[in-house]
Amino acid sequence: MLQIYARRADRFCLREISNPAIEQAIAPALWYDLLSPTPEEVADVEAALRISIPTREEMEDIELSARLYQEDGAEFMTMTALTNLDGDEPMKMPVTFILTGPTLVTVRHADAKPFVTFCNRALRGNGHSYETGEDVMLGVIEAVIDRMADVLERLGNEIDGISREVFRSKKGSSTKKTRDLEALIEQLGRKGDFLSGVRESLVSISRLVAYHAAVESPARRPSKDIRQLVKLVQRDAASLGDHAAFLSGKINFLLDATLGLINLEQNQIIKIFTVASVVFLPPTLVASAYGMNFELMPELQWRFGYPYAVGLMIISALMPFLYFKRRGWV
């Protein structure tokens, strides 16, 4: 799908699509938004702007030189965005920004909420004048960062909830406690994967903005407002990256703590079996001694031999138990 945006009567508006090449010659468009484009739409935009739009495979390359470069007088910048941020399994999506003169081209193969949010806000007129494609690109990136901030805030609250579950006092059997902790480990694993995707996206945004700020072009004369917006976007991306790193460290701490609690529960069970085996070892020794079939054993003919043996086994069992209890081992 191809959508073309332009300025009309000093307002940001959606232009009806006829022929991009003819329209670009008459009145240059401000923004070409290619969403899962067809080959015909890509060819039309390439003919209108005389650029070569990267394919999806080229957009997914991880080399920095394949993501940030200049070609035919245009800047090609690709970042990693995330979709399905309201669920537990976000999907990575490469987004390419192409700045050629005053025109911006965006190429993406999945819809993302920040693009919808930015378009609705810009079409309503939010007090900001989008005069160039650079303005639009920074506005879209700012919307992406705002979305990331909301996601990190939600993740932080969810991680705090998991933290309370990990360290709260639980009543019940050891098996139930272990199962609860194992479920929390699964939740932490999902949050960790989610957070790693957010951090990757924020790093790609920081690199993109830093590259754009460092590009020197005779045709590009950024205004003071643009320079301030670039610095603001860089600062916001860096601060969110620091917050994401903090949340990542908290997840690692909770994983270690949860595994430690599971080990404690398992050690408690092993300790019970160990104490039980030690407690019953002396009575077993007494029973084995009096279970031997020798003729000359005085207690066998003794009237109180059986009560004596039973009492001896009870005493031999109580003595190690009381000793362990005194030492605080049980």
Last residue of a domain, one of 217, 236, 266: 266
| Measured CA angle at 31 (ends 106, 204), to 5 deg | 30
Is 273 inside any structural domain? no
Q: Do 10 and 39 fall within a single domain?
A: yes
CB distance 119 to 110 below 8 Å: no
Q: Do 311 and 187 fall within a single domain?
A: no
In one-letter notation, the amino acid at residue 52 is: S
CB distance 2 to 37 below 8 Å: yes
Question: Which domain CATH number covers 201?
Answer: 3.30.460.20
Q: Do 321 and 179 fall within a single domain?
A: no
- Buried b or exposed e, range 298-318, using 16+ CB within 10 angstroms: eeeeeeeeeeebeebbeebbe
Residue keyed to tokens 């705002």: 146
Number of folded domains that form the chain: 2
Identify the bridge partners of residue 74 per DSSP, sorted by sequence position.
71
> In tens digits, what is the pLDDT along the chain, a chain of 330 residues?
888 888 776 777 777 665 665 555 445 688 888 988 888 888 888 888 888 888 888 888 888 888 888 887 888 999 888 887 777 677 888 889 998 888 889 998 888 888 888 888 878 776 666 778 888 888 888 888 988 898 889 888 988 888 888 777 566 555 666 667 778 888 888 888 888 888 888 888 888 888 888 876 555 566 677 778 888 888 888 888 889 889 888 988 888 888 887 787 778 778 778 878 888 888 888 888 877 777 777 777 788 888 888 888 888 888 888 887 887 776
Q: Do 28 and 110 fall within a single domain?
A: yes
CB distance 328 to 321 below 8 Å: no
Q: Do 140 and 288 fall within a single domain?
A: no
Supply the range of the domain harboring residue 33: 2-266
CB distance 76 to 70 below 8 Å: yes
pLDDT at 26: 45
Encode the chain in three state secondary structure: CEEEEEEECCEEEEECCCCHHHHHHHCCCCEEEEECCCHHHHHHHHHHHCCCCCCHHHHCCCCHHHHEEEECCEEEEEEEEEECCCCCCCEEEEEEEEEECCEEEEEECCCCHHHHHHHHHHHHCCCCCCCCHHHHHHHHHHHHHHHHHHHHHHHHHHHHHHHHHHHCCCCCCHHHHHHHHHHHHHHHHHHHHHHHHHHHHHHHHHHHHHHHHHCCCCCCCCCHHHHHHHHHHHHHHHHHHHHHHHHHHHHHHHHHHHHHHHHHHHHHHHHHHHHHHHHCHHHHHHHHHCCCCCCCCHHHHCCCHHHHHHHHHHHHHHHHHHHHHHCCCC
Q: How far apart, in whole angstroms, are the C-alpha atoms of residue 206 and residue 212?
A: 10
Residue-wise pLDDT tens digits, 128-165: 667 788 888 888 888 889 888 988 898 889 888 888 88
Model-level pTM? 0.74
Residue-wise pLDDT tens digits, 233-257: 888 888 888 898 898 889 888 888 8
Is 272 inside any structural domain? no
Q: How far apart, in whole angstroms, are the C-alpha atoms of residue 13 and residue 125?
A: 9
Q: Do 46 and 191 fall within a single domain?
A: yes
Is 46 inside any structural domain? yes
Is 178 inside any structural domain? yes
* Tokens, residue 303: 């009237």
Residue keyed to tokens 């000359």: 296
Of the candidates 179, 223, 229, 189, the residue with the CA atom closest to the CA atom of residue 209: 229
Q: Do 305 and 199 fall within a single domain?
A: no
